[in-house]
Structure 1
């Protein structure tokens, strides 16, 4: 059963405009009633009056630390592939192709960002470098909307981290199985 918390004051029961004013000022809490183990329980879920977080800066580019972390995770992937899967000329050519592919995948966006930074005249550059903590508490512009900057960071780095650490785990299991084989 769902209901609104609180009662309309008696002084405003006959006045339509006073009822609307009271509803606007009333805390928006939904009372949820459930019956577990034969006993009714009530729980109130209150909504915030602020639907939009105010005074949070909106950034349209990722922080340089995020790019550095992404490059570090790609480097981790390449190193773990070479260290854990190199079998002296059996897979060396394949590892070389993977290394070149990932090197180009990191190098091209970095070069494009350097060119963009040099010739971007849309807005003035920041007067000072933005600290990572301040950037993390802000918003990140995505198409026509914004998301929390820390969520944007997680969305970008989580697949890279999963691949890098997953390959490392698979390589460790591979080495353990290879050492135990007769």
Structure 2
């Protein structure tokens, strides 16, 4: 955790790239699930339910990002428009304190990436055993 100083540039908003990466990883997860396990009526039904659930989560994430973009920033706070490199150098303010924006992005994206990679491995194993 970084010390809380009003003088340092900080943000409460995620960069657009983080939202796009979240959507991309969710699509990767769904495609891996369908390609690896989408054979037959019963698995297709379950995969449809999972796909609709993931679609709801992605829609909520996109709505959250849209509302976040329109929210007013506090005076002196850094914006999230512009290059990702400039954003990741900022401090990201969370409910429990501040951390570097690059660390916040990694903490958000790593679990999603692990799930997408894991589903890809499960799908490859399922396809290899057929």
Q: Shorter-chain TM-score: what band?
A: 0.7 to 0.9
- Deviating above 3 A after TM superposition, structure 1's stretches of 4 or more consecutive aligned residues are 115-118, 121-128
Alignment pair present for 1:160 and 2:116: no
Unaligned 5+ segments in structure 1 are: 1-50
> CA, structure 1 residues 60+99, in 2 after alignment: closer, same or farther (shift >3 Å)?
same
85, 90, 95: which one aligns with 2:47: 95
| Pairing of 1:8-87 with structure 2 (within 5 A) | 56-87=8-39
Count of residue correspondences = 126
Query: Unaligned stretches of 5+ in structure 2?
Result: none
Does structure 1 retain, via aligned residues, the 8 Å contact 2:18–2:105?
A: yes
2:112 counterpart of 1:132 = no
Structure with higher RCO (Cα < 8 A, 6+ apart): 2
Query: What is the RMSD computed on CA atoms of the aligned residues?
Result: 2.6
Work out whether residues 56 and 137 of structure 1, in 8 Å CA contact, stay in contact via their aligned partners in 2.
Answer: no
Alignment match, 2:57: 105
C-alpha contact (below 8 Å) 1:137/1:148 kept by paired residues: yes
Using the size of structure 2 for normalisation, the TM-score is 0.83
> Which of these two proteins has the greater Rg computed from alpha carbons?
1
Could you report, residue by residue, the CA deviation over 1:116-160 in whole angstroms, capped at 9, with x for unpaired residues?
Answer: 544x34547978922100111111111252101111011000110
Partners of 1:87 and 1:59 in 2: CA distance: 46
Alpha-carbon distance in structure 2 between the residues aligned to 1:168 and 1:108:
24
**For 2:126 and 2:24, how far apart are their aligned partners in 1?**
23
